[in-house]
Amino acid sequence: MAPVQNARLIYKSVPEGYPIPGQTTVYDTNDSIDLENAPLNGGFLAKTLILSIDPFLRGKMRKPEKKSYSAEFKIGEPLYSYGVARVLRSATPEVKVGQYITGNFISFSEYAICPPTVLPSLTVVDKRPDLELRTYVGAAGMPGQTAYSGWKEHADPKPNDVVFVTTGAGPVGSLVIQLAKQAGCKVIASAGSEDKVAFMKSIGADVAFNYKTTDTREVLQKEGPIDIYWDHVGGEILDAVIEFSAENARLILCGSISGYNTGGAAPIKNLSMAVGKCLHLHGILVFRIFHKHAKAFWEEIPPKLASGEIKFREEVTKGLDKAGDVILAVQKGTNTGKAIVVVAEE
């Protein structure tokens, strides 16, 4: 069989601010691949079906000298992220042809030869008939797992605790809201549009507001003090929460998007208050803690997603050529619902 086109989204340059399509990322159709004969080198050939577009991708678009928990993207190579791929050929017994696999190495290309080094981070998708494959990168995937394991690990909720969730309409935040409501907490949630505010209310938030038109400090002062905070933004909002937190509050630090495209989040002026309030701040990464909560997650969450007991929103974009735009939208927060790019149907 003749080689076929292998379109790719290439990481072209380190962005200064937002990642601009055509500049930071470039869609390229010049490559091709021989699907029958391309050497596997002990790995496997995967066809990319679904790509998850998450805020953390911005952290991988950095200069190599800047260290972080996750490797930086290499200039000139395709991006990669969480996603779902179908195995077309395999030279390793751990992966079988026809399987759907997921992990944080799915290439932003139509096809990819995956080396055996990805095997430790690979999961075979045990797809339920009543959930879409794409949901395994969203509510049943990394974002859902982040919310679940971070909450179980550190929230320690009591009935009537006051919980504040930022980016509450996103795939992590929206599950945190619902877990907090299940636990009998009062939930305050913020997001950046009226549509998102309506969604947060629909999934149970007691107080939902648009942080662009309502002052977060005023809401916290009125509705707080805060017992549990789920932080996706860092900077001034985190500083305000420290000020308006209750004694013994748990602050779960999951991201700081306020700084991702601006050279860093605003410095924190109030951290010395953590002493007198006995605050507990916990940074979390899903891949460090999920294993402790995986069994409970798989037993509880996918059935509730399928039955509608837990609600989620997805914003599906078709075509790898659009992935650069979706990456930018996620950084700007203009997407509504978990951002997913469908590269191929099957």
Contact predicate 138/340, CB 8 Å: yes
Alpha carbons 197 and 339: distance in angstroms, whole number:
18
Stretch that binds a second copy, among 68-76, 112-120, 208-216, 310-318 (CB under 8 A): 68-76
Alpha carbons 10 and 107: distance in angstroms, whole number:
10
Binder of a second copy out of 74, 96, 288, 292 (CB under 8 A): 288
Asked whether position 57 contacts a second copy by CB under 8 A, the answer is: no
Closest CA to 46 of 86, 77, 9, 92: 86
Asked whether position 19 contacts a second copy by CB under 8 A, the answer is: no
Asked whether position 35 contacts a second copy by CB under 8 A, the answer is: no
Stretch that binds a second copy, among 72-80, 201-209, 283-291, 328-336 (CB under 8 A): 283-291
Going by C-beta distance under 8 Å and a sequence separation of 6 or more, which residues neighbour residue 198? 208
Question: Could you please report the per-residue DSSP string of 38-90?
Answer: S--TTSEEEEEEEEE--TTHHHHSS-TTS--SSPPPPTTSB-EEEEEEEEEEE
Asked whether position 282 contacts a second copy by CB under 8 A, the answer is: yes
Asked whether position 284 contacts a second copy by CB under 8 A, the answer is: yes
Size of the site for a second copy (CB under 8 A): 35
Asked whether position 214 contacts a second copy by CB under 8 A, the answer is: no
Q: Is the dihedral of CA 266, 267, 273, 278 positive or negative?
A: positive
Alpha carbons 181 and 240: distance in angstroms, whole number:
23
Binder of a second copy out of 274, 316, 329, 344 (CB under 8 A): 274
Asked whether position 131 contacts a second copy by CB under 8 A, the answer is: no
Stretch that binds a second copy, among 20-28, 259-267, 295-303, 336-344 (CB under 8 A): 259-267
Asked whether position 74 contacts a second copy by CB under 8 A, the answer is: no
Closest CA to 87 of 113, 108, 109, 61: 113
Alpha carbons 75 and 26: distance in angstroms, whole number:
11
Binder of a second copy out of 34, 218, 247, 309 (CB under 8 A): 247
Residues in touch with a second copy (CB under 8 A)? 59, 68-70, 234, 238, 247-248, 253-256, 259, 264-265, 267-269, 271-285, 288-289
